[in-house]
Amino acid sequence: MENETVEELIKGGLPGCEVQVMGDGRHFEAVVISEAFAGKSLLQKQRLVMAAVKVQIKSDELHALSIKTFTPEDWAAQENL
């Protein structure tokens, strides 16, 4: 699986989000920035992202996905650190 494929799957599950994906074909790291995360717990945010790739996880096409989630405001604050 390619980084771009994982990125497109996440974007399909969270329309309007920004995604950066790095990986080696089976293990990936994703940074996801979305308004949909506002007011959600860490677990709820993770579940939103994982729902977008559940078919690939279940088939083992995508073996592991490490996720960092941010609202646009959180991302902007992080960028200023």
26-73 confidence digits (pLDDT tens)? 899 999 999 999 999 999 999 999 999 999 999 999 999 999 999 999
Cβ neighbours, 10 Å, residue 58: 9
pTM of the model: 0.91
pLDDT at residue number 81: 63
Alpha-carbon gap, residue 24 to 71, rounded angstroms = 26
pLDDT at 78: 84
